[in-house]
Amino acid sequence: MERKAIPAKEKIIFALDFPSPGEAMDWVERLDGLISFYKVGLQLFLAGGWHIVDAILAKGNRVMLDLKFFDIPATVAKAVTALNGRGITFATVHGYEAMLRAAAEAAEDVGILAVTVLTSMNQNDLGSLGIEDTVEELVLKRARQAVEAGCTGVVASAREAAMLRQELGSDFTIVTPGIRPASDERNDQKRIATPGEAVHNGADYLVIGRPISTSADPHQTVEAICMEMEAAMTPPS
């Protein structure tokens, strides 16, 4: 199945990783007309709750609710049920197959994204948890479980996106965090990629925060990111 073409600007999910709803909405206003998809994570949701989500949606935007549900299947299913009808595009879960299946079955109008391996983790981090799989093996194993459980897609590093496309096909969504322009600092991310690399490797959406929010000219940065993605999306002549 061929994946639907997504315009470059619509591929960007801006991470609203801010401590207050006011600061978050300032950025939504600032990026109005340029970005229309926003990630609300734990920090912001705890500060602003549904009010901040509703405020973002009211401006005609889309929301990825990144709360990474992890609990027994019945509890996760109830949590996902509470998201139905709220206008959420994607919600994240982080767990094992039975939990993923419960989340997918409970979802009515929200896409369930299964987190594979956090982009702040590397091989040493997995070893410290007693996990013997390589990062790539674990990502593939968890992504396969997610697809088989009926999830909409996965959250995975762009480094593994090409492998996932090759092994699992195109009929699922890949959202990639850890996106950094070549000149940018890594911060706390370890498995990073540039916007062009992510798109080339098969990512559908790119979660980008600090490269935009710390830029001296956020609009110019977004335009540059879009140009890089468009170049990667254009077939060679």
Residues designated as active site: 68
CB 80 within 8 Å of CB 152: no
Q: Residue written as tokens 């950025």?
A: 27
Q: Taking Cα atoms as reference points, which of 233, 177, 235, 169 lies closest to residue 7?
A: 233
Distances from the Cα of 56 to the Cα of 50, 67, 129, 217, angstroms: 10, 17, 37, 22
Quote the CA–CA distance of 139 and 144 in Å, as a whole number: 8
Sign, Cα dihedral of 186, 192, 196, 197 = positive
DSSP 8-state symbol, 83: T
Please state whether beta strands 90-93 and 153-155 pair in parallel, antiparallel, or not at all (unpaired).
unpaired
- Cα 54–Cα 36–Cα 191 angle in degrees, nearest 5: 105
Amino acid at 48: G
Round to the nearest angstrom and report the end-to-end CA distance of the chain.
24
Cα dist. 37→23, 59, 135, 219 in Å?
Answer: 16, 11, 28, 15
Place of tokens 């979660």: 207
